[in-house]
Amino acid sequence: MTREKISTPDAPQPAGNYSQGIRLGNLVWTAGFGPQDPVTGEIPESVADQTRRVLRNVEATLAEAGLDLGDVVKTTVHLADLADFAEFDEAYGEFFPYPKPARTTVGSQLAGIKVEIDVVAGRLTNDD
């Protein structure tokens, strides 16, 4: 199997030595996305709005790979303040169909943002 870089202008561009996403076989791993608008660079204020922006960034990257949020099997979420969990979780829940993906949520020191999310997604083919 060959690793394939996933890249789209519809999500923030990497700020370092990493890819927006990598495909290996039927699985895609995304980078941790922050809440920057890919066009304006603006960052929403609230945790809920940042969560929505982050998931739109993830969604754009998955779309480039021919996947969507319904194909996500695992997310890792970093919150700058775990006291924001309830507000984050409500917005997060708007994006994923049932069954919701497995998730790990941790408190992290983030650079000027309140939330960062990465995902693992995949879709079985008829050959699987």
For 32, counting Cβ atoms within 10 Å of its Cβ (0-12 exposed, 13-18 middle, 19+ buried), the class is middle
Residue 69 in any domain: the answer is yes
Cα 48 to Cα 54, 86, 87, 95, 115: the distances in Å are: 10, 9, 6, 12, 9
Q: How many whole angstroms separate alpha carbon 11 and alpha carbon 110? A: 19
Q: Residue 45 domain-assigned?
A: yes
79 assigned to some structural domain: yes
Domain that holds residue 56: 3-122
- What's residue 1's pLDDT? 80
Give the pLDDT of residue 98. 94
DSSP 21-60: EEEETTEEEEPPB-S--TTT----SSHHHHHHHHHHHHHH
Let me know if residue 31 belongs to a domain.
yes
Per-residue tens of pLDDT for the chain, all 128 residues: 889 999 999 999 998 999 999 999 999 999 999 999 999 999 999 999 999 999 999 999 999 999 999 999 999 999 999 999 999 999 999 999 999 999 999 999 999 999 999 999 998 765 54
pLDDT of residue 125: 66
Burial of 22 (0-12, 13-18, 19+ CB in 10 A): middle
Omega cis (within 30) before 99: yes
**What is the predicted pLDDT for the residue at 113?**
98
**Does residue 115 sit within a domain?**
yes
Give pLDDT, residue 64. Answer: 96
128 is a domain residue: no
pLDDT for the residue 26: 92
Would 127 be classed as within a structural domain? no
d(CA 126, CA 128): 6
* CATH number for position 13: 3.30.1330.40
Is 105 domain-assigned? yes
Domain count of the chain? 1
Cα–Cα distance, 49 to 55 (Å, whole number): 10
